[in-house]
Structure 1
């Protein structure tokens, strides 16, 4: 799957009640660290962890659509596991004799693997503490990668700074290995 670009994986075990809020916060946090335009920040409070986000209507709608698609896909899946893949690409002229135009070449990919569990009331406190720890580590991973030499080197030359993202962003949702809309 990795064709020379960094792939960062975040594994989450979520409670059914908090799934949407946490996925929303994680996706926003990734975008917050990887958008290069003028970003108006917002924050998300999930299981006592403050996560950064992007206050932009298009971004909010994209995240909401993918979280809803994940939720609908999970509802019909017996395993209650899925993933959201965020791919950042750059547009390059197509290098082909027969095809003209541009092609999108990925330069970084984030994979969020999520599993839904239903902890009992007795297990809930430990479950939430573990989830808070996982989210904190996820934020640390985002910060470390985005500020690392490898993370900075992955970013192509920015040639268009007219929008919040000079690069195409694609999010796909997979449940049971099958992409859902």
Structure 2
């Protein structure tokens, strides 16, 4: 079955730089918890007074930590306010279109893309500003987690059928916007020239995950988002 790509967006409208690591860790783990379509053992992560469900995959955890470090390095700037973006892309294997039909080959095509926009600010200085900022960040963070939950529950028809029980059926990438290219250029590159190849997929940690697939379609996982206080 051929599916169409879905694109979703998350945004933190004001995020002090010293909170970036925690926010990204929580959002990325939440996305992967719902889109890593293999049997996983749920774990809990405490982020900004909130409990987030995450997978037990060391490959996912290592990738997230690596990309957070890259993001922090790229966004290191003395400017007061700066907008930074990153994307999470999930791919499926499809038969490659061949006009002459002499032979059949396969390629990976993106079926889902998550865009995360962070509007970075300098950390507040006074205690009053810190308290106000923390409250705002926590509220924004919870709202984004709830948005992820709503999206994964509302949008399921585009998820490709799982046709293998050998490892993770859908390779993924986290793309960090660099200073040398525009966002649109980066996304085009990730969708076309830098999409996973069949050769890459057989040797990557993603494809070597040995967990079994439990169903042909994704089902909603019980997700835990527990905040120590209500939003205001």
Q: TM-score, normalised by structure 2?
A: 0.68
Q: Among 160, 168, 173, which residue is 1:170 paired with? A: 173
Matched residue, 1:102: 106
Secondary structure of the 2:156 match is helix
Q: Is the 8 A contact 2:88 2:172 kept in 1?
A: yes
Matched residue, 1:80: 82
RMSD: 2.2
Secondary structure of the 1:19 match is helix
Q: Is the 8 A contact 1:81 1:175 kept in 2?
A: no
Q: Is the 8 A contact 2:33 2:53 kept in 1?
A: yes
Matched residue, 2:125: 120
Q: Distance in 2 between matches of 1:34 and 1:77?
A: 35
1:79-133 Cα deviation digits (max 9, x unpaired)? 5331110011111011124885322211111011112212232211121111111
More strand by share: 1
1:27-59 Cα deviation digits (max 9, x unpaired)? 011000111101122222222122221221111
Matched residue, 1:131: 137
Q: Among 89, 92, 99, which residue is 1:90 paired with? A: 92
Q: Is the 8 A contact 2:91 2:108 kept in 1?
A: yes
Matched residue, 1:10: 10
| Residue 71 (structure 1) aligned with residue 77 (structure 2) | no
Matched residue, 1:28: 29
Q: TM-score, normalised by structure 1?
A: 0.86
Q: Distance in 1 between matches of 2:173 and 2:42?
A: 21
- The alpha-carbon distance between structure 1 residues 102 and 124, as it changes in their structure 2 partners (threshold 3 A), is same
Q: How many residues align?
A: 174
Q: Is the 8 A contact 2:22 2:48 kept in 1?
A: no
Unaligned runs of 5+ in 1: none
Q: CA deviation at 1:19?
A: 1.2
The higher radius of gyration belongs to: 2
| Residue 153 (structure 1) aligned with residue 153 (structure 2) | no
Unaligned runs of 5+ in 2: 187-232
Q: Distance in 1 between matches of 2:172 and 2:178?
A: 20
- The alpha-carbon distance between structure 1 residues 94 and 63, as it changes in their structure 2 partners (threshold 3 A), is same
Q: Is the 8 A contact 1:29 1:51 kept in 2?
A: yes
Q: Is the 8 A contact 2:40 2:56 kept in 1?
A: yes
Q: Distance in 1 between matches of 2:45 and 2:19?
A: 12
Matched residue, 2:150: 144
Q: Distance in 1 between matches of 2:78 and 2:95?
A: 40
